[in-house]
Chains A and B, each alone.
Chain A
Amino acid sequence: MDVNPHTDSQDYQLDEPLAPKRTRFEEFWRLFKQNRLAIAGLVFFILFFVVAIIGLSLTSGNDPVLDPAMVRLQEKLRPPLTKPNFERLQPDEVPTLGVYVFGTDDLGRDVFARMLQGSWVSLTVGFVAVGIAIIIGIFLGGIAGYYGQRHIRINQLIAGGFLTAGAVLLITDLIWAGAVFLLCGLACILLSYLTKKSARSRTKPAWTRLWYFNTISIDTLVMRFVDIMLCFPSFFLILTVVALLPASIYNIMIIIGLTSWMGTTRFVRAEFLSLREQDFVAAARALGLNDFRIIFRHMMPNAVAPVLVSATIGIATAILTEAGLSFLGFGVPPPHATWGNILSDGKRFIFDAPWLTFVPGIAILLVVLSFNLFGEGLRDVMNPKLRERQ
């Protein structure tokens, strides 16, 4: 290669980018459209969303348009699409649509109204549980991925131990002992702060070497905790916790969220480990940006793709878990309808009134399937290696 020394700055072309401007989203959408099943999943996903929101507005309040709790004992176990017997019903007992779209159950309640009410439960359980799981997952995965190679030192262990012991003693009303332990913890922190400088210099005294001795790495700590959590079969873990806590829809959401963050943590950690070594992160560090900015502005946007995919599939799993819990009677308490407890109530009449099991069953199947198909379509689009094949 021979460099031409006569080129001067005037010769630099002010080049225009030639490719038409296309945002990332447009690119994704173009590829996503090619996947018919994923499109079907997306359409059903939106439909489910709309139905759940409409369902919530129609079935809630003091005088709902469609009352899921209206008991009509004279109209029990009516098959779908039958007209109500107007002579035997009070005017306000007549269903608003004038027909039992999905029939009635053993108490004469309108299954259509109950399904609508249940769809909102499924939707919120899915999104809130996965939301909790993702927040925990991103937080722990980010720590393990970005700070993972740092070690927890002896002084931190000692200070942490003192502070925890102090707090526990304070809670158990041993004020004096607690205060002493807390002070010891604070003294440790102060000592570490004061000796920070000497610990970094090359000629450190022997005692600082012990004081700053590395124990386990943060990565090991977080990831082994993930492994421990994964050891429990999650459904039985949830069952145990649900048995101890009062049954409520919020408890269910939180518990499902707290037991399903492990996958996200692993994804985020893996992404962070590879991103941390990228040149653009090194450049950001060289510019002197702080860790917070590097993590959230430079690394996180590049790490969310697999998280998004696992979240979509996670929603399906959460809906299924909630339905399973309700079916077993551990879920949302009775007057409130969910797809799981409609299914569970209906199983006694499976031969007399099969619609009571089939309607919620098929609804769960369709929603879970659509989320899975959508999630897999999303994964294919966001994975550059798979994209090249198309």
Chain B
Amino acid sequence: MNEINSRNSTILQVEDLKKYFPIRRGFFQRVTSWVRAVEKVSFIIKGGKTLGLVGESGCGKTTVARLILKLLEADGGKIIFAGQDITDLSEAEMKPLRKEIQIIFQDPYGSLNPRMTIGQAIAEGLKAAGIDNRSETQQRLEKLLKMVGMSPAGIDRFPHEFSGGQRQRIGIARALSVEPSLIICDEPVSALDVSIQAQIINLLKDLQEQLNLSYLFISHDLNVVGYLCDRVAVMYKGHIMEYSPADELFDNPVHPYTHLLLSAIPDSERSDISDMNTLGDEPANTLNPPAGCSFQDRCPISEDRCAQSEINFEKVGEDHLVRCWKTAKHGSYQFFS
């Protein structure tokens, strides 16, 4: 669709991205502590490829998405889009780049304005892309709706007249209206039932082929990620724990947390680590994290060293990084059990 997205060039590079949210208390709204939502997150998305960002609820996936879209200001690190550092750009400087990065939301009910017909909603994007002519708008609207598998007959209807899957398609059409090169999919299928999930995922895959899009695909469902993504980053409490090509991650998972996630797949054959499910099953607490590894309190193989110093990425294979000194040294977690 555009030259930014030529294959195998880096379209988005994120370096040491950081976002802390202040917790304010008391009459003067003093900052008492910080929620470390995103801590030193780095990854690269190549043109026309898909990066999966996996992790449990509250681990900072959506915050990463909002930081890349510049809906939130980063507290540290760099976001480099197509060779340009966009971290500190002001709203006005960002404007020409806005249409290059789009988002698809998880909740198909909240993502469309209830007071706008779907035609109007998508036309907002066309207007932002500089298409003002009425007949051309109409033409493009119909084309976009067909592209996402919807009938143009519904153009004057309101979102509440559509089903969840249809609304998700409308959301995709809106994102496509400005001809972006990168689409951030923030759990786009988590709120849909299984049969619709498959349709939407195939739609995303087809669109990627047709338009040469890049995706940042955020999900907690490893099946979907395995099907759609070229690379996967596993996130836990704001940190990336494991970063590898998708096939490699499924065939040869290293980090204990990745094992935990894989064992959580219902029909998984990896029941060998079922004991992990019962270990420290508390929700991720990103407030005042302990020193060292953020996974230490749930990890079955943690040692004193895990709590002492900051754990850095270790290379365990080609393009395969893991933030765990122990499994990196001794091989996969499976060898311990």
Please state if B149 and A14 are interface contacts (CB–CB under 8 Å).
Answer: yes
**Of listed A16, A201, A202, A282, residue having the most chain B CB within 10 A:** A282
Residues of A within 8 A of B127 (CB): 289
**C-alpha gap A1/B178 in the complex (Å):** 32
**Is A17 within 8 A of B202, CB to CB?**
no
> What per-residue 1/0 map shows which CB atoms of B190-214 lie under 8 Å from chain A?
0000100111011100100000000
Number of interface residues of A (CB under 8 A): 36
Select from chain B the residue with minimum beta-carbon distance to A12. Answer: B149
Q: How far is the CB of B259 from chain A (nearest CB, A)?
A: 20
Q: Which of B106-114, B320-328, B329-337 forms part of the interface with chain A?
A: B106-114
Q: For the complex, is B102 an interface residue (Cβ under 8 Å from A)?
A: yes
Q: How far is the CA of A3 from the CA of B194 in the complex (A)?
A: 9
8 Å CB contacts to A: which residues of B137-157? 146, 149-151, 153-154, 157
A283–B98 Cα distance when bound, in Å, is 11
Cβ of A347 to closest chain B Cβ, rounded Å: 49
Interface pair A1/B197, CB less than 8 Å apart? yes
With contact pairs A14-B150, A279-B110 given, residues A3 and B223 touching in the complex (Cβ less than 8 Å): yes
Q: How far does the Cβ of B312 sit from chain A's closest Cβ, in whole Å?
A: 23
CB proximity to A under 8 Å, residues B91-120? 94-95, 98-99, 101-103, 105, 107, 110-116
Q: Is A19 an interface residue (CB 8 A)?
A: yes
Q: How far is the CB of A307 from chain B (nearest CB, A)?
A: 14
Contact of B150 among A15, A284, A293 (CB under 8 A): A15
- The answer to whether B161 and A287 have CB atoms under 8 Å apart is no
- Known interface pairs A3-B202, A287-B125. Does A301 touch B115 (Cβ–Cβ under 8 Å)? yes
- Given A3-B198, A12-B203, A286-B103, A19:B161 Cβ within 8 A: yes
**In the assembled complex, A29 has its CB within 8 A of some CB on chain B:** no
- By beta carbon, the residue of chain A nearest B156 is A21
Residue pair A298, B223 in contact (C-beta under 8 Å): no
Query: Does B124 count as interface, using CB distance less than 8 angstroms?
Result: yes
Contact between chains at B154 and A280 (CB < 8 Å): no
Q: Which residue of B lies closest to A27 (CB)?
A: B160
Are B95's CB and A288's CB within 8 A? yes
Choose among B88, B98, B202 the residue that contacts A8 (Cβ–Cβ < 8 A).
Answer: B202
Q: Is B43 an interface residue (CB 8 A)?
A: no
Give the residues in chain A near B157, CB-CB below 8 Å: 17, 21
B224 touches A302 (CB 8 A): no
Q: What is the interface residue range for chain B against chain A?
A: 35 or more
Q: Does B34 contact A (CB under 8 A)?
A: no
Whether the Cβ atoms of A280 and B98 lie closer than 8 Å is no
Q: Total number of A-B contacts with CB less than 8 angstroms?
A: 116
B150 and A283: CB pair below 8 A?
A: no
Interface centre among A4, A8, A280 (most CB of B within 10 A): A280
Among B107, B162, B199, B202, chain A packs the most CB atoms within 10 A around the CB of: B202
Closest to B126 in A: A287
- Counting CB contacts under 8 A, is A389 at the interface? no
Do B154 and A286 have beta carbons less than 8 Å apart? no
Q: Is the CB of B161 within 8 A of A17?
A: yes
Q: Mark A342-377, 1 if CB is under 8 A from B, else 0.
A: 000000000000000000000000000000000000
On chain A, the residues within 8 Å of B162 by CB distance are 17
Contacts of B158 in A (CB 8 A): 24
Of all chain A residues, the one with the shortest Cβ separation from B223 is A1
Whether the Cβ atoms of A289 and B88 lie closer than 8 Å is: no
C-beta contact mask, A49-89 vs B, less than 8 Å → 1, else 0? 00000000000000000000000000000000000000000
Say whether B45 faces chain A, with CB atoms less than 8 Å apart.
Answer: no
Closest to A288 in B: B98
A9 within 8 A of B: yes
Is A172 in contact with chain B by the CB < 8 A criterion? no
B153 near A16 with CB under 8 A, answer yes
Contact (Cβ within 8 A) B194 A280: no
Q: How far is the CA of A240 from the CA of B195 in the complex (A)?
A: 68
Q: A16 and B154: CB pair below 8 A? A: yes
Query: A200-B88, A286-B71, A287-B125 known; A8 and B206 CB under 8 Å?
Result: yes
One of B124, B166, B224 near A284 (C-beta < 8 A): B124
Cβ contact within 8 Å between A283 and B198: no
What is the CA–CA distance of A261 and B237 in the complex, to the nearest angstrom?
A: 45
B150 contacts A287, C-beta separation under 8 Å: no
Contact B105 A283 (CB under 8 A): yes
B221 at the interface (CB under 8 A from A): yes
Q: B135 contacts which chain A residues (CB < 8 A)?
A: none
Within the complex, the shortest CB–CB distance from B57 to chain A, in Å, comes to 17
B103 touching A9, Cβ below 8 Å: no
- Enumerate chain B residues within 8 angstroms of A280, measured Cβ to Cβ: 110-113, 121
Q: List 21 A-B contacts (CB under 8 A).
A: A1-B194, A1-B224, A3-B202, A3-B227, A4-B202, A12-B203, A13-B149, A14-B146, A200-B90, A201-B88, A279-B105, A280-B111, A280-B121, A282-B105, A283-B103, A283-B171, A287-B174, A288-B128, A289-B124, A298-B113, A298-B116
Closest 9 CB pairs of A and B: A288-B98, A12-B149, A279-B111, A301-B115, A279-B105, A279-B110, A280-B113, A14-B151, A287-B128
Binding site for B on A (CB under 8 A): 1-5, 7-9, 12-17, 19, 21, 24, 200-202, 278-280, 282-289, 293, 297-298, 301-302
